[in-house]
Amino acid sequence: MIPAQFDYVAPATVEEALALLAEHGDEAKVMAGGQSLLPVLRMRLNAPGVVVDISRIEELRSITDDGDAIRIGAGATYQDVLDSDLVREHLTLLHQAVAEVADPQIRHRGTVCGALAHADPAGDVGAPALALDAQMVIRGSEGERTVPGSEFFVDLFETAVGEGELLTAVVIPKHTGWGSHYEKFVRVSHQWAIVGVAVTVRVEGGTIAEAKVGLTNMGSTPLRAPAVEAALVGQPASEEAIGAICAQVGEGTDPPSDLNGQADYRRHVAGVLTRRAVLAAAGA
Amino acid sequence: MSKISVKVDGVTYEDEVEPRTLLVHYLREQLGKTGTVVGCDTSNCGACTVHLDGRSVKSCNVLAVQADGHEVTTIEGLAGADGALTPVQEAFRDCHALQCGYCTPGMIMQATDLLAENPDPTEEDVRLGMEGNLCRCTGYHNIVKAVLQAAGARAGEHA
């Protein structure tokens, strides 16, 4: 399969990239690692006139310590994230989820920000990003704005990034010392999650003091589970205490029905995975 | 057309390519490096795996223009100039780690990357590290054995 023809430009700076996006409007498509975009182009599900490759913009490659948060640039690959001691120490949940993305070859090229901007609800980084209260940094000709994860994901493959804008980084508050676990349910190990659950908890003396839960592929966007998060607080980290709470995680969600499972099956599986993830995160 | 300069298996090539040209098609059709094969054409199977700047990638999921200024190693660039096979290649032959052989170039490239990162893998490390490479003959058992044997051989080399 060969993509339709397009022009290719590889700007060296964010300013150049924004000028190109402004010039080409909805004909332009941003590419970082290209691991989601190239299959789309090959299958001709999309045929942009211009592909703007941002992977050669040096300033976007970095993963930096911003004090209370870690900043992951739009050019940082999954492998860069896996190799980052900052992410491993302060954003353990994201580190665990990124290790579950696709396969090594894809992780060597694909980027966390690219996946967030692609906004596939079955992708593995949306749920942990949401659960960790990520802030998305978006730049356009008007300047820079920061959008919380809760407002970033709009719908299936749709985000708050507007035409002519670029997601330049994701900034995620440190969760140093929090327990965490990403539980991914798949049929084939390198495939998309049928359901995934991202959990991070702060445990004090055997009791859950704070809990954050994100869901993969349980709707048209990644989701948070605020009712379950609230109910977990104050509970001992034991199966008896949290089992019934976690089983409710699918309530009110509208997951897809497909060959891998019907919506009610996914709601059930989400409950099972949440129990496993909470117990693993809490070290029980 | 875009002008690219890519070092492939130690030789630098300057070429004109259409931006939409996939790296695998550039390697096979413009450079004649048919050792790298197209398997599924959907970025699932890993048969087209090559190394880009030393790390494994699926060359059906990379544009040739993205490789501009970078270095590619294919299955044809692994063996020494005298034809001496690498430990991974030797192990695949010794362990009969292929049936039809179609997945083999990708398997060997991924196994080489895996062992460069983790020279002493467990069986589980190997199975997980090879998750992006499919063998339609389902000959995984001997493939895993070969990678573990190659790791042992490498350990022997350093001893």
The mean pLDDT value for A110-138 works out to 98
Residue B158 has pLDDT above 60, yes or no: no
Residue B132 · residue B58 · CB < 8 Å = yes
- Choosing from B38, B59, B77, the residue where a domain stops is B77
**CA–CA dist B89, B111 (Å, integer):** 10
Q: In total, how many domains does chain B have? A: 2
Tokens read off for A92? 């353990």
Beta-strand pair A166-173/A69-73: antiparallel
At B44, which amino acid appears?
N
At A190, which amino acid appears?
H
Q: Render pLDDT for A195-224 as a digit per residue (tens, 0 to 9).
A: 999 999 999 999 999 999 999 999 999 999
Q: Render pLDDT for B6-32 as a digit per residue (tens, 0 to 9).
A: 999 999 999 999 999 999 999 999 999
Beta-strand pair B2-8/B71-73: parallel
Residue B44 · residue B106 · CB < 8 Å = no
**CA–CA dist A93, A89 (Å, integer):** 10
Note the pTM of the prediction, 2 decimals.
Answer: 0.96
Is the CB of A109 less than 8 angstroms away from the CB of B62? yes
What is the CA angle A143-A139-A122, rounded to 5? Answer: 155
- Best of A7, A9, A31, A105 to substitute, by most chain B Cβ atoms within 10 angstroms, is A105
Q: Is residue B11 within a helix (H) or strand (E), and if so which, with residue range?
A: strand B11-17
The mean pLDDT value for A111-135 works out to 98
pLDDT of residue A284: 77
Residue A168 belongs to a domain: yes
**CA–CA dist A248, A106 (Å, integer):** 34
**CA–CA dist B119, B128 (Å, integer):** 15
Give Cβ neighbours of residue B75 (< 8 Å, ≥ 6 apart).
B35, B36, B50, B105, B108, B109
Q: Exposed, middle or buried: residue A240 (CB in 10 Å: 0-12, 13-18, 19+)? A: exposed
Chain B residues with CB within 8 Å of chain A CB: 2, 18-20, 22, 25, 41-44, 46, 49, 52, 55-58, 60-63, 65-66, 68, 110, 113-114, 128-129, 131-133
Residues A269 and A227 in one domain: yes
pLDDT of residue B41: 84
Residues B62 and B97 in one domain: no
Nearest chain A residue (CA) to B40:
A1
Please list every residue in chain A whose beta carbon sits closer than 8 Å to the beta carbon of residue B56.
104-105, 108
Angstrom CA distances, A280 to A181, A210, A273, A276, stand at 6, 15, 10, 6
Give Cβ neighbours of residue B101 (< 8 Å, ≥ 6 apart).
none
Residue A2 belongs to a domain: no
**CA–CA dist B74, A237 (Å, integer):** 50
What is the total residue count of chain B? Answer: 159
Q: Is residue B71 within a helix (H) or strand (E), and if so which, with residue range?
A: strand B71-73
- Number of CB pairs, chain A paired with chain B, less than 8 A apart: 80
Residues B106 and B41 in one domain: no
The mean pLDDT value for A63-72 works out to 98
The domain of A223 spans: 179-281
- Best of B24, B38, B42, B63 to substitute, by most chain A Cβ atoms within 10 angstroms, is B63
The residue to which tokens 């084939």 are assigned: A188
Q: Report percent pLDDT > 90 for chain A.
A: 98
Reported as half-sphere exposure (CB side, CA atoms, 13 A), residue A123 has a value of 29
Residue A18 · residue A141 · CB < 8 Å = yes
Quote ipTM for the complex: 0.95
Is the CB of B43 less than 8 angstroms away from the CB of A35? yes
- Choosing from A122, A143, A173, the residue where a domain stops is A173
**CA–CA dist A280, B14 (Å, integer):** 53
Instruction: Give the CATH number of the domain where residue B116 resides.
Output: 1.10.150.120
C-alpha A77 chain-centroid distance: 13
Q: Report percent pLDDT > 70 for chain A.
A: 100
- Band of the pLDDT at B159, cuts 50, 70, 90? very low
Please list every residue in chain A whose beta carbon sits closer than 8 Å to the beta carbon of residue B2.
8
Q: Is residue B129 within a helix (H) or strand (E), and if so which, with residue range?
A: helix B123-129
Which of A34, A42, A104 has its CB closest to that of B132?
A104
Is the CB of A104 less than 8 angstroms away from the CB of B25? no
Residues B91 and B70 in one domain: no
**CA–CA dist A78, A59 (Å, integer):** 17
Instruction: Give the CATH number of the domain where residue A77 resides.
Output: 3.30.465.10
The domain of B64 spans: 2-77
**CA–CA dist B63, B24 (Å, integer):** 8
**CA–CA dist A123, A205 (Å, integer):** 34
Please list every residue in chain A whose beta carbon sits closer than 8 Å to the beta carbon of residue B42.
1, 39, 42
Please list every residue in chain B whose beta carbon sits closer than 8 Å to the beta carbon of residue A5.
18-20
Angstrom CA distances, B100 to B34, B132, B138, stand at 16, 18, 10
Any idea what DSSP says for residue A5? P
CB atoms within 10 A of CB B70: 16
Q: At what angle do helices B140-158 and B104-117 cross, to 10 degrees?
A: 40
Angstrom CA distances, A176 to A87, A89, A91, A131, stand at 10, 6, 7, 14
Chain A residues with CB within 8 Å of chain B CB: 1-8, 10, 34-35, 38-39, 41-42, 51, 53, 55, 79, 102-106, 108-109, 189-190
Task: Report chain A's mean pLDDT, rounded to a whole number.
Answer: 97
Q: Render pLDDT for A71-103 as a digit per residue (tens, 0 to 9).
A: 999 999 999 999 999 999 999 999 999 999 999
Distance from CA of A47 to the nearest CA of B (A): 11
Residues B70 and B92 in one domain: no
Tokens read off for A223? 């989701």
Which of A34, A39, A104 has its CB closest to that of B66?
A34
Which of B20, B25, B55 has its CB closest to that of A108?
B55
Residue A217 belongs to a domain: yes
Residue B82 belongs to a domain: no
- Band of the pLDDT at B42, cuts 50, 70, 90? confident
**CA–CA dist A214, A93 (Å, integer):** 11
- Band of the pLDDT at B156, cuts 50, 70, 90? low
Please list every residue in chain A whose beta carbon sits closer than 8 Å to the beta carbon of residue B140.
none
CB atoms within 10 A of CB A50: 18
Is the CB of A2 less than 8 angstroms away from the CB of B19? no
Tokens read off for A174? 């440190």
Q: Render pLDDT for B89-120 as a digit per residue (tens, 0 to 9).
A: 999 999 999 999 999 999 999 999 999 999 99
Residue B154 has pLDDT above 90, yes or no: no
Instruction: Give the CATH number of the domain where residue B25 resides.
Output: 3.10.20.30
Residues A223 and A187 in one domain: yes
Q: What sign for the dihedral angle of Cα A211, A212, A216, A222? A: positive
Q: Render pLDDT for A148-181 as a digit per residue (tens, 0 to 9).
A: 999 999 999 999 999 999 999 999 999 999 999 9
Residue A85 belongs to a domain: yes
Q: Render pLDDT for B53-80 as a digit per residue (tens, 0 to 9).
A: 999 999 999 999 999 999 999 999 999 9
